[in-house]
Amino acid sequence: MALIPRNISTSRGFKDISLSFRRHPVTNDLLVIKNEDAIKRSVVNLVRTKLGERFYNDLIGTQVEDSLFETQGFEVAYSIQTEIEVLLSNFEPRILTDEVLVTFPLDSNEMNVMIRYFVIGQSAPVQQIDFILQPTRI
């Protein structure tokens, strides 16, 4: 179990709107996601965004989706790990990245991504996101 670094202050909350755009049944406001869930959604969205896909900021995103079609190996996994670490340190100021691990299971065309991070401003334990990326052709 990882310890929370000392330079992280506490007592901050985070809130984002839900991308489902559903409304609250009583208040009729858009539903919100809070704190760890909001940050988790943001991290996954950043990793899955392709470079140049966001308007007005061509630097946000990764080439992870394009790397799914390359020959799988240590070099590709290391470059993707580094790219994700740089992306998160530059564009997600609410977290402090602890570990990024990219693996390619044998005999499959998919990539497993594991990201562990601390939420800055909260006393939450270390958070972990695991997701699988698969190549698709349109």
Q: Kindly report, residue by residue over 28-50, the tens digit of the pLDDT.
A: 776 676 777 888 888 988 888 88
Got the DSSP string for the chain?
Answer: -PPPPTT-------EEE-TT--B-TTT-PBPEEEHHHHHHHHHHHHHHSBTT-STT-TTS-BSHHHHTTSPPSHHHHHHHHHHHHHHHHHH-TTEEEEEEEEE--TTSS-EEEEEEEEETTS-PPPEEEEEEE-----
| Per-residue pLDDT reduced to its tens digit, 112-129 | 899 999 988 777 789 999
Segment 9-36 mean pLDDT: 69
Give the pLDDT of residue 1. 47
The rounded percent of the chain whose pLDDT value lies above 90 is: 20
Residue 20 pLDDT class (50, 70, 90 cuts): low
pTM value is 0.76
Domains of the chain from N-terminus onward: 15-19+29-133 (3.10.450.40)
Q: What is the pLDDT of residue 7?
A: 52
